[in-house]
C-alpha cells in the first residue's frame, strides 16, 4: 500500500455513501420502522409544546371566567396523553436502536472478515497490514455511531428545530431569527474544534509512532538483549520522555485554543438566549402573544437548548474526534484485493508448472528470497527440493502454488500466468502439508476435513483412508472418542504430541481432493523410524499426480523423479540422486554428512 493513499482524506459525504448502505442492509424494514419511530418521537415534542400552549390558554381563560373547567381538564388530559405516548415511543426506539446497533456491529465486522479473505496473501507478511486490520475493527463502533448521528439528525433533531422555527416565526418572526443566532455559534465552535483537533492529530501521529518505536527499543523482543547489554535504556527512556512531553504540549495548546473558542461562542449563545426570553416577555407585556404561548416557549426553550448542545457538542463532537477511526475502517476496505480485475474465470486443467526467471523478496525482507529461478515441473512429476535452512525452499513453494506472486519473471500453470488467475481457480486442485502446520482446536474429524465445504459430508470412506495413510492409529487411547475426539485442552479435549499433530496435518492435506500436492518438510516432528514408513506411503500417494516435497532427508526421496538443490535463493543443481552426486558438490556434501549420521545412528543402536 502506498503511503500517499493511506493519508487520503475521505469526505463525510462519501463516508456516508459507503457506510449507510452497509447498515441499511442489516434489516431495511427494521431500519425504516425505527426511523419512523424517531419521527414520531420528534413529532411528540412538537405536540407537547402545542398542547402546553392550549393548556395554559385554557387555564388563563378559566381564571378570567371566560372558559369552562371541562375545557381546561381536557387540555390537561391531552398533554398527559402526549407525554405517555412520548415515553412509549422513546422506549421503543431505544430498544430497537440497541438491537440494531449490535446487529450492525456484526455486519460490519463480517465485512472486514470478508475483505480480509480477499487481500493478497503476501500482504499478511507485512506488519502494517495486521495493524490496519486492528484499526479497522476499532473503527466499526464509530462508523455505526456516525450513521446513527446522521439518522437521528434527519429524523429527530432537524424536524424538531424546523418545527420550533416555524412556531416561533408564527408567534413573532424576530424570535425565529434570533434562534439562528443561538444555533450558529454552537455550530461554529464545533467546526473550529474539528480543525484544531485534526491538526493536532496530524502533528502528534508521527510523535506517537516515534514513542512507540522507542518503547519497542526498550522492551521489544528483537531489541531487548542489545539495549540491555549496551546499557542503552536511559537513552531511549530520555527520548521517550521528550516525545511524550512534545505530545502533551501540543495537546495542551490545542485544548486551550478549543476551550477559548468555545467560551467565546457560548457567551454569544447565552446572549442570544437571553434576548429571546426578553423578546418573549416584551411580547407578552404588549399582549402580542398569549400567556399560553409564552409559557409553552418558556418551558420548551431550555430543552431545545439542551437538545442543540447534545447534537452539536456531544454527537458531532464525538464524531469529529473519531473521524480518523471511521476513516481507518473505510481505508481498510479499499486496500487492493488479489482477485480484482482478474481475466481468467474459466477452469484451467492442470498441466505443467513453469517458472521463468522468477525473483521474489518479502515485503520486509532485504534480499531476494528467490533469485532468477527457472524450472519446469511436468504434469504428474514428483520433485524433491532440498537445501539448507533459509535457502528458499518454502518460498519457492509459495510461488509455485501461486500463493505469492513473483516480483519479476513469471509463474505459469498450464501456460496461464498465476497473476491472471483468481485465487479460487488457482488453488482449486492444490493441497498441501505445510512446514508450520496448524493445530486447529477442533475435533479430529474437523481437523482433517476442513477443506470439505459442502453441506453433506461425503468423505466417510476417504477420511478412514487418509487417516491410515497418515499413520494415525485410532485405537490409540488418546483418541478416546474416535473421530469425534476434541483436539484441544481448552475445549475439554486432549492434546496431542508434536508427531501426532503432524500426522493430523498430513491426513488433512491428503483428504483435500487434489491434482497437485506440496509437502513442505512434512515429517520434521516425526521420529526417524516412523518417518521412513511415512515416506514409503508418500511414494504411493504421489503416484500419478504432480507433487513437490521439501525435505532434509535425502535418503527418503529417491522416489522423486528429480531433485532440486537450493542455495541462497538460487537453484544449485537439478537431477536425480546419482546425477547430483556426480555434478553438484552441495548435494554431495549434504549426502555425505547425512549418510555419516545414519551410519553413526546405526552403530549406536
Please give the residue ranges that form the binding site for ligand ADP (CB under 6 A).
Answer: 125, 362, 364-365, 369, 387, 389-395
Q: Which residues pair with 547 in a beta bridge?
A: 382, 517
Pick 123 or 395: Cβ nearer ligand ADP? 395
Site membership for Mg ion, residue 227 (CB under 5 A): no
Site membership for Mg ion, residue 395 (CB under 5 A): no
21 binds, among ligand ADP, Mg ion, none (CB under 5 to 8 A by kind): none
Pick 254 or 370: Cβ nearer ligand ADP? 370
Pick 198 or 594: Cβ nearer ligand ADP? 594
Taking the alpha carbons of 466, 470, 475, 477 in that order, is the dihedral positive or negative? Answer: negative
Stretch that binds Mg ion, among 253-261, 392-400, 487-495, 553-561 (CB under 5 A): 392-400
φ, ψ (nearest 5 deg) of residue 337:
-100, 155
Size of the site for Mg ion (CB under 5 A): 3
Pick 367 or 578: Cβ nearer Mg ion? 367
Site membership for Mg ion, residue 204 (CB under 5 A): no
| Close Cβ partners of 535 (under 8 Å, ≥ 6 residues apart) | 523, 553, 556, 557
Site membership for Mg ion, residue 269 (CB under 5 A): no
Restricting to residues 460-489, name those near Mg ion by CB under 5 A.
none
369 binds, among Mg ion, ligand ADP, none (CB under 5 to 8 A by kind): ligand ADP
Q: CA–CA separation, 284 vs 55, rounded Å?
A: 17
Pick 360 or 538: Cβ nearer ligand ADP? 360
- DSSP SS3 for 3: helix
Rama region for 513: left / alpha / beta (φ>0; ψ in -120 to 50; rest): beta
Site membership for Mg ion, residue 391 (CB under 5 A): no
| Close Cβ partners of 218 (under 8 Å, ≥ 6 residues apart) | 224, 227, 233, 236, 237, 240
Residue 386: CB minimum distance to ligand ADP, A: 9
500 binds, among ligand ADP, Mg ion, none (CB under 5 to 8 A by kind): none
CA dihedral 93, 94, 97, 98 (to 10 degrees): -150
Number of H helices, E strands in the chain: 20, 10
164-182 core/surface letters (b: 16 or more CB in 10 A; e: else): bbebbeebbeebbebbeeb
Instruction: Give the position of cell 485554543.
Output: 257
> In terms of DSSP bridges, do strands 408-413 and 416-417 run parallel, antiparallel, or are they unpaired?
antiparallel
Residue 560: CB minimum distance to ligand ADP, A: 17
Stretch that binds Mg ion, among 156-164, 305-313, 429-437, 574-582 (CB under 5 A): 429-437
Instruction: Give the position of cell 418558556.
Output: 298
Q: Which residues pair with 571 in a beta bridge?
A: 566
Pick 200 or 549: Cβ nearer Mg ion? 549
Binding characters for Mg ion, 435-464, by CB under 5 A (x = yes):
x-----------------------------
Nearest alpha-carbon partner for 317 in 249, 252, 248, 258: 258
- DSSP SS3 for 549: strand
Pick 125 or 417: Cβ nearer ligand ADP? 125
Residue 398: CB minimum distance to ligand ADP, A: 8
Residue 342: CB minimum distance to Mg ion, A: 29
Pick 182 or 411: Cβ nearer ligand ADP? 411
Element (H, E) at 394: helix 393-400
Residue 552: CB minimum distance to Mg ion, A: 10
Site membership for Mg ion, residue 394 (CB under 5 A): yes
Residue 395: CB minimum distance to Mg ion, A: 8
436 binds, among ligand ADP, Mg ion, none (CB under 5 to 8 A by kind): none
Element (H, E) at 1: none
Pick 137 or 362: Cβ nearer ligand ADP? 362
Which residue number is nearest to Mg ion in terms of Cβ?
Answer: 394
Contacting positions for Mg ion (CB under 5 A):
393-394, 435
Amino acid at each position: 500500500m502506498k503511503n500517499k493513499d493511506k493519508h487520503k482524506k475521505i469526505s463525510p459525504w462519501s463516508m456516508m455513501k459507503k457506510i449507510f448502505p452497509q447498515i441499511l442492509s442489516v434489516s431495511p424494514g427494521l431500519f425504516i420502522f425505527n426511523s419512523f419511530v424517531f419521527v414520531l418521537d420528534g413529532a411528540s415534542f412538537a405536540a407537547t409544546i402545542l398542547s402546553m400552549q392550549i393548556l395554559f390558554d385554557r387555564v388563563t381563560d378559566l381564571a378570567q371566567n371566560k372558559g369552562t373547567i371541562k375545557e381546561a381538564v381536557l387540555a390537561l388530559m391531552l398533554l398527559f396523553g402526549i407525554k405517555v405516548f412520548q415515553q412509549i415511543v422513546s422506549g421503543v426506539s431505544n430498544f430497537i436502536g440497541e438491537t440494531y446497533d449490535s446487529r450492525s456491529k456484526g455486519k460490519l465486522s463480517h465485512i472486514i472478515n470478508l475483505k480480509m479473505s480477499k487481500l493478497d496473501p503476501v500482504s499478511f507478511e507485512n506488519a502494517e497490514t495486521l495493524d490496519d486490520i486492528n484499526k479497522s475493527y476499532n473503527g466499526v463502533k464509530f462508523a455505526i455511531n456516525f450513521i446513527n448521528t446522521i439518522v437521528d439528525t434527519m429524523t429527530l433533531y432537524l424536524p424538531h428545530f424546523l418545527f420550533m422555527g416555524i412556531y416561533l416565526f408564527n408567534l413573532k418572526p424576530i424570535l425565529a431569527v434570533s434562534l439562528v443566532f443561538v444555533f450558529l455559534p454552537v455550530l461554529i465552535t464545533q467546526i473550529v474544534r474539528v480543525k484544531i483537533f485534526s491538526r493536532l492529530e496530524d502533528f502528534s501521529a508521527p510523535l506517537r509512532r516515534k514513542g512507540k518505536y522507542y518503547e519497542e527499543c526498550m522492551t521489544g523482543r528483537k531489541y531487548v538483549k542489545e539495549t540491555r547489554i549496551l546499557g542503552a535504556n536511559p537513552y531511549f527512556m530520555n527520548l521517550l520522555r521528550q516525545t511524550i512531553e512534545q505530545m502533551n504540549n501540543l495537546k495542551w495548546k490545542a485544548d486551550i485554543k478549543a476551550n477559548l473558542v468555545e467560551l467565546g461562542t457560548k457567551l454569544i449563545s447565552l446572549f442570544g438566549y437571553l434576548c429571546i426570553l426578553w423578546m418573549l416577555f416584551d411580547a407578552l407585556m404588549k399582549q402580542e402573544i398569549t400567556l399560553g404561548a409564552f409559557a409553552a416557549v418558556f418551558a420548551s426553550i431550555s430543552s431545545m437548548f439542551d437538545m442543540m448542545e447534545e447534537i452539536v457538542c456531544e454527537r458531532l463532537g464525538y464524531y469529529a474526534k473519531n473521524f480518523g477511526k471511521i476513516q481507518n475502517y473505510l481505508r481498510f476496505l479499499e486496500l487492493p484485493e488479489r482477485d480484482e480485475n482478474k481475466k481468467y474465470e474459466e477452469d484451467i486443467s492442470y498441466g505443467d508448472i513453469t517458472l521463468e526467471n522468477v525473483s521474489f523478496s518479502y515485503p520486509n525482507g532485504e534480499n531476494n528470497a528467490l533469485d532468477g529461478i527457472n524450472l519446469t515441473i511436468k504434469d504428474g512429476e514428483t520433485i524433491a527440493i532440498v537445501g539448507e535452512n533459509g535457502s528458499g525452499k518454502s518460498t519457492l513453494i509459495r510461488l509455485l502454488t501461486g500463493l505469492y506472486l513473483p516480483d519479476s519473471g513469471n509463474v505459469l500453470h498450464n501456460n496461464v500466468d498465476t497473476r491472471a488467475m483468481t485465487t479460487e481457480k488457482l488453488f482449486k486442485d492444490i493441497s498441501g502439508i505445510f512446514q508450520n502446520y496448524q493445530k486447529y482446536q477442533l475435533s479430529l474429524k474437523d481437523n482433517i476435513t476442513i477443506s470439505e465445504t459442502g453441506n453433506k459430508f461425503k468423505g466417510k470412506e476417504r477420511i478412514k483412508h487418509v487417516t491410515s495413510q497418515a499413520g494415525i492409529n485410532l485405537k490409540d487411547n488418546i483418541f478416546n472418542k474416535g473421530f469425534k475426539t476434541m483436539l484441544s485442552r481448552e475445549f475439554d479435549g486432549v492434546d496431542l504430541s508434536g508427531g501426532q499433530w503432524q500426522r493430523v496435518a498430513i491426513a488433512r492435506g491428503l483428504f483435500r481432493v487434489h491434482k497437485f500436492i506440496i509437502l513442505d518438510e512434512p515429517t520434521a516432528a516425526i521420529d526417524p523410524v516412523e518417518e521412513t514408513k511415512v515416506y514409503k506411503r508418500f511414494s504411493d500417494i504421489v503416484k500419478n499426480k504432480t507433487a513437490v516435497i521439501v525435505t532434509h532427508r535425502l535418503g527418503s526421496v529417491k522416489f522423486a523423479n528429480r531433485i532440486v538443490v537450493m542455495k541462497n535463493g538460487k537453484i544449485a543443481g537439478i537431477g536425480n540422486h546419482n546425477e547430483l552426486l556426480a555434478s553438484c558438490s552441495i548435494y554431495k556434501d549434504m549426502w555425505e554428512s547425512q549418510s555419516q549420521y545414519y551410519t553413526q545412528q546405526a552403530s549406536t543402536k
